Amino acid sequence: MIWFLACVLALLLAPTPARAQAPTEPIRVPLTIHVASEDGHAVVSESHILASVRRANRELAGFGIHLWIREIVPMEGGAQIENSDDRYGLARTIDRDGSVHVFFVDRVALTNPRKGDRRVSGMHWRYHGVAPDIRSREYLAVAHNAPTTTLVHEVGHAFGLTHDSDNHNLMCSCQRSLQPAFTERQGRQLRNGARRYLLRHRARRQRA
């Protein structure tokens, strides 16, 4: 009987996946935030930007990832991302500096051959062509009226996550629930993806 109780107690005290501790060494990811303007006024407030970063860090903390703002850069114009010229134009403004570049703009639209122009809350964009001036350029874009979960959703894409159909998941491209989250499996992918992202961009910086 004592042996049975000891086994039960051991099982109760054993850590479960949901209780797994966050990695002790956080991966610190720098953000360079570019803020578009219209008629000389920023399209988004600094408080909204900070709220988006705080929300992202809340969701990423359990997986040992921390985003920090290296710089906020005001832009002249750049409020619309509606076509390939806009996307390439933004790519030409960013440096190979090892940070995640985030553009807060007024409008983000994706062009789909079947659906036409479709307005979205944000996007992750990466160039895979051979043009030397934008080769391997990569950035995130967030619309001014996007929910604060949009930034972390796009960070998820940058770190290798794809869309999920569950509306309780942060990677759902849908009307998400009030408290969406990443799964433990996604958390492991995020951590590995964050490492790859930083290595990829450091390597580009050294070759520039």
CATH number of the domain encompassing residue 110: 3.40.390.10
Please say whether the beta carbons of 91 and 123 come within 8 A.
no
Residue 4 lies in a domain: no
Q: What pLDDT does residue 118 have? A: 74
Helix, strand, or coil here: 169?
Answer: strand
Residue 7 lies in a domain: no
Domain with 191, as residue range(s), is 25-207
The strand pairing partners of 185, in sequence order, are none
Tokens 């159909």 belong to residue: 165
- 53-83 pLDDT tens trace: 999 999 999 999 999 999 999 999 999 999 9
Residue 106 lies in a domain: yes
Q: What pLDDT does residue 138 have? A: 96
Q: What pLDDT does residue 4 have? A: 45
Task: Enter the pTM of the model.
Answer: 0.83
Residue 1 lies in a domain: no
Residue 150 lies in a domain: yes
Name the domain count of the chain: 1
Please say whether the beta carbons of 121 and 150 come within 8 A.
yes
Q: What pLDDT does residue 5 have? A: 43
Helix-, strand-, coil-residue percentages of the chain, each rounded to 5:
35, 25, 40
Complete edge-to-edge strand list for the sheet that includes strand 100-105: 65-74, 27-35, 100-105, 138-143, 122-126
Which residues of the chain carry a pLDDT beneath 70?
1-23, 111-117, 203-208
Please say whether the beta carbons of 126 and 137 come within 8 A.
yes
Cα angle, residue 197 at apex, residues 196 and 203 outer, rounded to 5°: 85
